[in-house]
Amino acid sequence: MIKRTTSHTTATTTGLPAEEVYVVDFRVQITHTLRRDTKFVPPALWTWMQVTVSSGSVQLTSTIDAQVVATIPVATCSLTSLDNHFYILCRKGLYTIHVYCPSKTVWTKFVDVLTLASSSVKWSVPSSNKWADLVQVAASIVETADANHHLPPFPMVHTSSVTVADVQSHLAAMKAMYELKCTLSAQDLYETLVDLEYAYVELGVDNNFAHMVHQLHPKAYMAQKGGDLYRQQASSLQPSLKTILHTCPHDNCDMVLTSSQRLRVHMHHGTVSCTRCFGRVSMDTFKLAKFVQRYTSCEVEAPMALNDKVTIVMPRLPIDGSIPTYLQELKTLMVRSKVSYSAMKAIQTAVDTYLKPDQPSMGWMELDLVHAMARQLEFVEKVCTNYTYWSQPVVVAASVVRYHQFMHIMAAKPSNVTCLVPTMDIDLVWHAHQCNPVAYRTFCNRVAGKLIDHDDTIPATALARGYADTFSLWSKTFHGEKYSSFPPQVPTTRAASAVPSSTWKKSKMKDKRYVLKVSTPTLLMWWALPPPLPPTSEGDTPHDYRVPSFHSRFVGVDEFVADLLLYNTTTASASFVQVGEQDTITQMTFQVESRG
């Protein structure tokens, strides 16, 4: 009989099936007692197994092929403790079952469950305080990293200078912006962001939200600084977007645009009419006006002209303010001037390059900082809605551990992988680290030999593929460690074996295990061993896409159960949205998502 140990808190555990089970993942090795030639196998190479404690038995199931390896009566479990996180779960006949559990927190909970299961046929999973569960998951991540760091062949992960205090300081700055945002309408929020960009670009204010967001785009930031990251103040030689978008760009107009007009043009990519010159104004119009101002004429080859050259006076800004109209007028001028075909192509290439649709900005930098701040506010709201949780030192420490692991696989990313996608905890630390650009560049050069960029404009389809690649690379690099509690939605031709897009239903297997059943991506009800997934790219295996068992999942780190945290349900916040051709302001409360 196993001795009963610790007591438990009094909150009720929700989401469990009628039959009480406790399901965790451990690295397991089964050895034969009579074999003397058995060599020591590093725990990183032990087999991942799902260990299920139910009424009277402990079942070991391979996470690779879902085959039951052993079923052990609870009464025969010995739980002998060895050195350095190694344990003997049971000696059964000629076989000994060894378990490696690097987290003291995880092992203590497992012992408590096994104690209850061995003391009574009618038992229940120990009740727990939900807040304690959140903190304990973070603690187990830190403990696991500390233990694995000293055991090859676990990879040696480089650590940076980013500290818990650095992340908490970054969180405080995020919270200040979040609290301000909660008081503003969409119109006022836009004006605030424009003012922040103006203060940073034209006044050299380097301690505001605009400067912070600029740092979250490392390559753009370093390019703008000319490689001198110690020079913190922005240049005031170029106008800000506030200055550029203040007045109508049409010739001799200078009509001041209203705030609502600027919002529609800038954030919604809409078109408005100037009340003075009646010209159409869009972001393309501002871009075109800058081009027309810079290039008033050009000298090109014209075989039919004197000296085989002709000077073309470039068209003026068309009244409709559109790039296609301007290009058509330019083409007509070149045809009339009998410009050579090669010269015509050269002009067309130059104009297309300058006026290309994806040209991001006309201001001080290539990055549209106002749009970048608006995108960042989405992440700010995700985090600050649960600020108390994310600011906990142990939660931040766990996030730092996972950030360093993420950067380890980022540095070794295969050439066929276009992007890797961080979970919210990793992204939070990544942001905090980038806000010290000198330290961040030094760390990147040490682990990857180059600056690792951070791109928040990746399309959704690429994000889905990148998340699946991250899931797989994480598992391969860290010997079966799971990246997240959310399986990637990977494309496959074997639709019957793919991860369902809406719900995972109750398992039909005889052992009545449960699989994920969700109504939205954030409402987790029950989790156990998922069905096998097919390979999605060369070298991938179904095991690479498996998620943790229910009691091993990352509660709070990159998932939130609906009733685990108190959401901010009283504060309305404004967002920029567009429905059809109409601008609307959405007053909403935020629901936490799985990734930032």
What would the pLDDT profile of 517-538 be if each residue is shown by its tens digit? 322 232 222 233 333 333 444 4
Average pLDDT in the chain: 78
Among the residue ranges 39-48, 150-159, 418-427, the one predicted with the least confidence is 39-48
Q: Residue 336: is it exposed, middle or buried by C-beta count within 10 angstroms (0-12/13-18/19+)?
A: exposed
Q: Is the per-residue pLDDT at 489 higher than 80?
A: no
- How does DSSP classify residue 126? P
Quote the tokens at residue 312. Answer: 């073309």
* DSSP character string of 342-386: HHHHHHHHHHHHHT-TT---SSSSSS-HHHHHHHHHHHHHHHHTT
Least confident range from 92-96, 236-240, 380-384, 548-552: namely: 236-240
What stretches of 122-184 show up as alpha helix (H) in DSSP? 130-148, 164-181
What is the secondary structure of 223-244 as a DSSP string? HHHTT-TT--SPPSSS--HHHH
The token pair that represents 549 in the structure block: 């068992």
pLDDT grade, residue 310 (50/70/90)?
A: confident
DSSP class per residue in 10-42: -PPP-S--SS--EEEEEEEEEEETT-S-PPP--
How far is C-alpha 572 from the chain's CA centre?
24
CA 497 centroid distance within chain: 26
- Which residue ranges make up each domain of the chain? 22-126, 246-362, 407-552
Dist CA 331 CA 336 (whole Å): 9
- What is the tens place of the pLDDT at every residue in 134-191? 888 899 999 999 998 878 788 899 999 999 999 999 999 999 999 999 999 999 999 9
* Residue bearing the bigger pLDDT, 158 or 1: 158
pTM reported for the whole predicted model: 0.81
Residue range 378-407: mean pLDDT, rounded:
94
| R_g over Cα of the chain | 30
The mean per-residue pLDDT over the stretch 288-302 comes to 83
Q: Which CATH number does the domain 22-126 belong to among 3.40.50.300, 2.30.29.30, 1.10.3720.10, 3.30.465.10?
A: 2.30.29.30
Q: What is the DSSP letter of 410?
A: H
CB 421 within 8 A of CB 463: yes
Task: Identify the DSSP state of 252.
Answer: T
Bigger pLDDT: 223 or 232?
A: 223
Per-residue model confidence as pLDDT tens digits over 202-227: 998 989 999 999 999 999 998 887 65
